[in-house]
Structure 1
């Protein structure tokens, strides 16, 4: 896999509020945070751009609502943001699933920088991360979906149907990869490619 010198890592909603198990339920992929950290480290070490999104939920009881401590980035992300990475950095604040509908305008920033390749990681696999990857694919970007650098939670749908976090994550990977929206890959592949590219 070839990772462009200006490929942007888009880190979706890695916020403290997702630690509130009583609100979200059981998550999958306990290694996700370590993998997200490894990707940020690899991108910062090579001077590539990193985009961080923050979800400002409009729901009054959401752990991600503005003004509540859960709205802030997880500590390991905040530490990496504060160290002053050599590459470009952007924080996008949004109220919906897609990072392309936030402030500032992600697409305009990518266009101004001549960026055509994205790596997407973060929380939740089948929600904001998937939506951002799908939209990026539709907009013509080459998208790598860092599957093991994402996690989600089980959900109930219509007619009492329930899917576990692992089942939802697998469905996302199949839909994105099989549908041509993104290439689903592992963190170690991306880290190696970034180091050699």
Structure 2
């Protein structure tokens, strides 16, 4: 059933994002990790979150696979469902950033327009697109979930990089070379956040 949006009113509350950020001691922001399967998105995002936790920075990692066990479990992998998957994750990330958290997402998110859609959900400067730039051959060689092999055999349809398109970010906020060590790439992200005064620890 389609909702009648004319009867829905936005409520402004007394506690604002700035109030929550003051409580946390840092800004709320979304770090959007994008790249092919096997590029290292989840590993790097997890490493960044671990370091943030050690620095007493309030954060949360939204992992694409984990979200498909709950929030997005009703969605498939065709283009309309992928769009809805990104829209839902974007809305959740926006709310968590409004709560003053540093939100990390690790999703392939293959289309530029959908990543731009999420950027536009947030206040300017509160969305950081992080492209894990790992050569396709290395991603396929890693194949940590065996998905490339399934896609090549025809068992898996709509798999990004094999039978579905990945649109490389044109101007990512951060470009990470996925062939480098995770510790080095983690420090690159943390240094970016410090330079942007997201946190000072």
TM-score (norm 1): 0.34
Greater RCO, 1 or 2 (C-alpha within 8 Å, sep 6+): 2
TM-score (norm 2): 0.34
- The structure with the largest alpha-carbon Rg is 2
